[in-house]
């Protein structure tokens, strides 16, 4: 049986069918579906930056699917002594079936690691995208609201990698609306916004970005924020706290959207991007969202290691060595 190795480095690596199937599969895992489809596989987990949820989600998810896991910390690889990413990827591809990597750097680093074509590489966060977080978010919409289509989301905060991946993913579902309220100078990258708008035009959805908190939309389904200090980045403005202050999520946002759920990708800083009243309040599903990282991770791992017919993975050449 032929097996196609598939990597997930950008949301745009997924077809519309892939995206929808991964969301549905994440929801199935969340409902209790269990499979040992990765029995015999070896999954490497390399994080050069800190992580609680994503690292635990992929490690736990791989183990639940039957794979063995090798964990690497930021000081464990010979990258620190000057070995190239390409050579590191060539070596790992002869010993691993999947590599989950967080570099918080240029996504081209992920492409270099995946260049051999015999090892799947999963982007667990780079500087411009966090694709597995987007899958987590859509899975949470599916499990909490029963749908992704026709959902309205108000995202408040920096146009960071989480916001970018959310825009690129949600815009591909018909009838959705993503309202982005980002501080001046901290919106989505122009190319990301253009890609999301193009997806929206094709699918019949809407993506709008504004840089103020006036005239907020009413009756949204979700209010979403992320922490203001994104891992591995710094702000160009010394007074960025002043610029971000009007974008704090407080309970007043529920005056016009009383049924809205609250999303946060965590970790959260109570009193900065969100008040404790909201994060710990009845509208918050942030910790359910965190659990869904594991269910989404399982869906991605399965997708990377299954052949296109949906059968169990064939043993690759690297896995037999």
Torsion of CA 219, 275, 183, 267, to 10 degrees: -110
**In the chain, where the domains are located:** 11-129+294-320, 133-290
Integer Cα distance of 72 and 75 in angstroms = 8
Structure tokens at 301: 């791992």
Residues 107/10, Cβ–Cβ less than 8 Å: yes
Structure tokens at 289: 């969202």
CATH of 133-290, one of 3.90.1530.10, 3.30.930.10, 3.40.50.720, 3.40.50.1370: 3.40.50.1370
The confidence score (pLDDT) of residue 110 equals 87
| Res. 10: pLDDT tops 70 | yes
| Res. 1: pLDDT tops 60 | no
DSSP 79: G
Structure tokens at 63: 């183990």
The confidence score (pLDDT) of residue 231 equals 60
| Res. 131: pLDDT tops 60 | yes
The confidence score (pLDDT) of residue 305 equals 87
| Res. 136: pLDDT tops 90 | yes
The confidence score (pLDDT) of residue 5 equals 83
| Res. 180: pLDDT tops 70 | yes
| Res. 317: pLDDT tops 50 | no
Sole residue written with tokens 């989950």: 100
CATH of 11-129+294-320, one of 3.40.50.920, 3.40.50.300, 1.20.1440.230, 3.40.50.1370: 3.40.50.1370
Closest by Cα among 1, 21, 57 to 266? 57
Q: What is the pLDDT of residues 62-102, one digit of tens each?
A: 999 999 999 998 889 998 899 988 899 999 999 999 999 99
Mean pLDDT rounded to a whole number for the chain: 92
Same topology for domains 11-129+294-320 and 133-290, yes or no? Answer: yes
Span 268-290, mean pLDDT? 98
Place 108 in a pLDDT band, splitting at 50, 70 and 90.
Answer: confident
Place 229 in a pLDDT band, splitting at 50, 70 and 90.
Answer: confident
Q: What is the pLDDT of residues 245-264, one digit of tens each?
A: 999 999 999 999 999 999 99
Integer Cα distance of 101 and 49 in angstroms = 10
The confidence score (pLDDT) of residue 3 equals 54
Integer Cα distance of 4 and 255 in angstroms = 50
Integer Cα distance of 288 and 172 in angstroms = 24
pTM over 0.85: yes
The confidence score (pLDDT) of residue 34 equals 87
Return the SS3 of 275.
coil
| Res. 104: pLDDT tops 80 | no
Closest by Cα among 133, 128, 122, 180 to 153? 180
Q: What is the pLDDT of residues 294-316, one digit of tens each?
A: 999 999 999 998 754 444 444 44
């Amino acid at each position: 049986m032929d097996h196609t190795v598939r990597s997930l480095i950008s949301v745009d690596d997924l077809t519309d069918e892939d995206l929808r199937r991964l969301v549905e599969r994440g929801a199935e895992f969340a409902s209790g579906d269990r499979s040992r489809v990765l029995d015999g596989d070896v999954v490497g987990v390399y994080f050069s930056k800190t992580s609680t949820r994503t690292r635990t989600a992929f490690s736990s998810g791989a183990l639940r699917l039957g794979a063995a896991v090798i964990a690497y910390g930021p000081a464990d690889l010979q990258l620190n002594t000057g070995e190239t990413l390409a050579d590191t990827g060539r070596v790992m591809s002869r010993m691993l079936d999947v590599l989950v990597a967080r570099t918080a750097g240029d996504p081209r680093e992920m492409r270099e690691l995946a260049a051999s074509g015999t090892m799947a590489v999963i982007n667990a966060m780079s500087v411009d995208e966090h694709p597995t977080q987007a899958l987590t978010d859509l899975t949470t919409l599916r499990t909490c609201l029963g749908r992704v289509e026709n959902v309205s989301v108000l995202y408040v905060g920096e146009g960071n990698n989480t916001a970018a991946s959310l825009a690129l993913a949600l815009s591909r579902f018909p009838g959705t609306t993503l309202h982005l309220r980002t501080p001046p100078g901290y919106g989505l990258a122009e190319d990301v916004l253009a890609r999301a708008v193009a997806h929206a035009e094709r699918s019949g959805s809407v993506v709008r970005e504004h840089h103020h908190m006036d005239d907020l939309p009413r009756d949204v389904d979700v209010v979403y924020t992320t922490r203001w200090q994104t891992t591995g980045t710094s702000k160009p403005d010394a007074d960025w706290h002043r610029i971000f202050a009007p974008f704090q999520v407080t309970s007043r946002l529920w005056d016009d959207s009383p049924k809205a759920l609250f999303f946060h990708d965590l970790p959260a800083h109570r009193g900065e991007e969100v008040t404790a009243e909201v994060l710990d309040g009845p509208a918050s599903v942030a910790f359910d969202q965190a659990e869904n990282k594991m269910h989404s991770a399982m869906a991605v791992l399965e997708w990377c290691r299954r052949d296109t017919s949906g059968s169990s993975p064939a043993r690759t050449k690297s896995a037999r060595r």
